[in-house]
Structure 1
C-alpha cells in the first residue's frame, strides 16, 4: 500500500499543511516540528508525488543538460561538474544527446519544456538563430556551456577559444614550422569550434605566413576527420610540418593516419590538439594540447543556472575561464 502525505502527518502528529511546508522547504516551520516530519518520512519511506508537487509549485527540481555528442570524451567531465553541484541543491538531471543534429536539438528543447524542467544547460554544435528563438519562445531558463551566442543574450561559461587556438598555432610557429595545416570546422559556425579556426588564422597572419587553403580541412571534430584530412593533404601533394587540430579526437586521427602513411610524429610532422581529454595523455605519442577546465565549466554553469532559477542576481553573465597549453610528445 502506498504511503501518503496523510500517513506522514499522522505519524508526526502534525497537519497535512505542515508536512507540505516541510516538503516545499517553506521556512515558517520550526526546527523541532521539521525534525518530526523528516523522521516520519524516513520511518514510513514516503516519496512525494513529484508531478503533483510540480503542478502546485510550478517547479520540478529538474534540470536538462543538452550536449551534442555523448561519445566525445570532452563532455562527461562537464556533466560531472554540473551534476555534483545539482546534487548539492537537490536538483535532478535529464541528459539529452543531440548527435550533432540541429533538428534533434530543437526536439529535445521541446521535450524538456514538456517535462517541465526548471532550466537547461546547453552545449551545442550550433547556435543558429532558430535555436535561440526557440529557447526564447519556450521560455527556458538557459545557460550556455563551452560556447556563447554572438549577442550575449544568454549567460555562458567558456574559455577564449580564439586565443586557445592562437596559442597552439603560435606554439608551432615558435618551433620554426611554417607549413602548418588546420583541421576543424569552418569559422562561420556559430560556436566554439568555429572560433578555433579564427585563432589559427590570426596567428598565421601575425607571423606573416600566408594561409594555404590546400592546408585547411573543414569537417567535424571527430577522429575520422583527422584521417580524411591527412589523405586529402597527401592527395593535394602538400608539404606539412605541423597540424593544428580543433580537438584531440582529430589529432588522434591525424597522428594515426600519418603513421600509416610512413610519417613520424613529431620528427616529420608536429601535431597539436585541443581539449586535453584523458586519452590525449595516454595516446602514443602523448598529445600536446590546449587544456580546458571542463569540470569547472560544468560546476560554474550549474551554479549560475540555479541562481537564475532562484531569481538571484549573477555576479557575471559571461564567465571566461583560463585555458592552458600542455606540452607533450606529439610536437618537437
Structure 2
C-alpha cells in the first residue's frame, strides 16, 4: 500500500506539518529533524501527492489545452511545441477535445477548473461572450493559440491569416495563373474561414482579376472527404481554372485526389497550393506547395506566454503574430515558363 505523509510523520516522530515544511521549505526545519524526515521518506518510498502540494503553493503545475478536433494533423506539431514548453517550465498538460461543440467546450473549461489547473490554452476557436464570462468568473489565466480575440484583452499567438492567404494567392498569380479557384472554410468562421477568403479576394482585386466568389470559391470543412466533393463542385462550375488555393493542407489533398481520379494532372493542368505545412504536405504526390505556419513554435510560445501570466510576469506583447512563408514543393506549375 502506498505510504502517506502520516506514515512519514509517525516514523520520524514529528508532526505532519513538520513533514510538510521539509517538503516545501526545508530550511525552516532544524537539521536533525530534517534528516530524520528525509530518511523516513526514503525508507517508505514516499511520493508527495501533487494536488496536495499544489494546495500549499496555490499551484498544481498543470495546464489545460482545449482543442476542437484532435484528429486534425494541424494539432500534432502544435501540441508537441506546447509539451516541450510545458516541460521546460515544469508544467504538465491536460488535453481536452471538444469536437467543435460549444457546450462541450464550456464543460471542458469547468472540468479543468475543478482539477485546479493553473491556466488554459485555447486553440483555433473564437471566444464567444458566454465563454469569456465563464473565464472571468473562474479567474483562470487564458492564452489563445492559432486564434485571437479583438473584442477581449486575451493574449494570443497566431499568424496573420488574411495576409497569408493574400500571399498564397499572389504566389499563384506571379506564377502566371489568373483563373484561380479556392476551397475554403465557412464565411461564418472568423478565425480561419473569413480572413483567408478576404486575403484571397484582396489579392485578386489588387492584380486586376475579377473577384467573383460565387464562381471562384467552394466551401467545405477541413475534412478530406468534404474537400474532395468541394473540388468536384468547383471544377464543375469553373472548368477553365488553372490553379486552386485550398485553405488547409487536408483540403488541398482532397482537391488533388479528385483531380487525380479524373485524370486531371497536377500541376501540369491544375496547380494546387495548401495552407498549414502539416507533415502530410510532404507525403502527397505530388508533394504539396503550401503556406507554412510555424506550428511547433506557435504551441511553444503559447505555453510560455501562459506560464508568464501565471507567474505574474509582464508580457512583451498581447497579440503575437508569427511569420508565415511559402514552402515550395511540386504541386504548383509556373505557366510563365514556356
TM-score between the two structures when normalised by the length of structure 2: 0.88
Change (3 A) 1:11 1:272: farther
Provide, for residues 81-112 of structure 1, a one-character-per-residue CA deviation record: whole Å limited to 9, x for no partner. Answer: 11122123332211111112222212211221
Change (3 A) 1:45 1:258: same
Following TM superposition, by how much is the alpha carbon of 1:153 offset from its aligned partner in structure 2, in angstroms?
1.4
Equivalent residue for 1:113? 113
* Partner secondary structure for residue 273 of structure 1: strand
Equivalent residue for 2:104? 104
* Partner secondary structure for residue 272 of structure 1: strand
Provide, for residues 22-70 of structure 1, a one-character-per-residue CA deviation record: whole Å limited to 9, x for no partner. Answer: 544x485599899956676455322223343444444322111111111
Equivalent residue for 1:296? 297
Decide which moves more: 282-291 or 209-218: 209-218
Superposition pairs for residues 1-80 of structure 1, below 5 Å? 1-8=1-8, 16-24=16-24, 26=25, 29=28, 41=41, 43-80=43-80
Once residues 186 and 215 of structure 1 are traced to their aligned partners in structure 2, the CA distance between those partners, rounded to angstroms, is 14
Equivalent residue for 2:219? 218
> What runs of 5+ residues in structure 2 fail to find an aligned partner?
334-338
Decide which moves more: 297-306 or 183-192: 183-192
Once residues 19 and 31 of structure 2 are traced to their aligned partners in structure 1, the CA distance between those partners, rounded to angstroms, is 13
Superposition pairs for residues 89-100 of structure 1, below 5 Å? 89-100=89-100
Following TM superposition, by how much is the alpha carbon of 1:16 offset from its aligned partner in structure 2, in angstroms?
4.1
Equivalent residue for 1:232? 233
Indicate yes or no: 2:124 matched with 1:124: yes
8 Å contact kept, 1:149–1:191: no
Following TM superposition, by how much is the alpha carbon of 1:245 offset from its aligned partner in structure 2, in angstroms?
1.0
Following TM superposition, by how much is the alpha carbon of 1:231 offset from its aligned partner in structure 2, in angstroms?
1.5
Change (3 A) 1:181 1:303: same
Aligned length: 331
8 Å contact kept, 1:183–1:225: no
Change (3 A) 1:21 1:242: farther
Decide which moves more: 70-79 or 251-260: 70-79
Equivalent residue for 1:306? 307
Once residues 176 and 32 of structure 1 are traced to their aligned partners in structure 2, the CA distance between those partners, rounded to angstroms, is 78
Equivalent residue for 2:200? 200
TM-score between the two structures when normalised by the length of structure 1: 0.90
Change (3 A) 1:198 1:70: same
8 Å contact kept, 2:235–2:241: no
Once residues 34 and 279 of structure 1 are traced to their aligned partners in structure 2, the CA distance between those partners, rounded to angstroms, is 59
Change (3 A) 1:219 1:50: same
Once residues 42 and 207 of structure 2 are traced to their aligned partners in structure 1, the CA distance between those partners, rounded to angstroms, is 67
Change (3 A) 1:34 1:305: farther
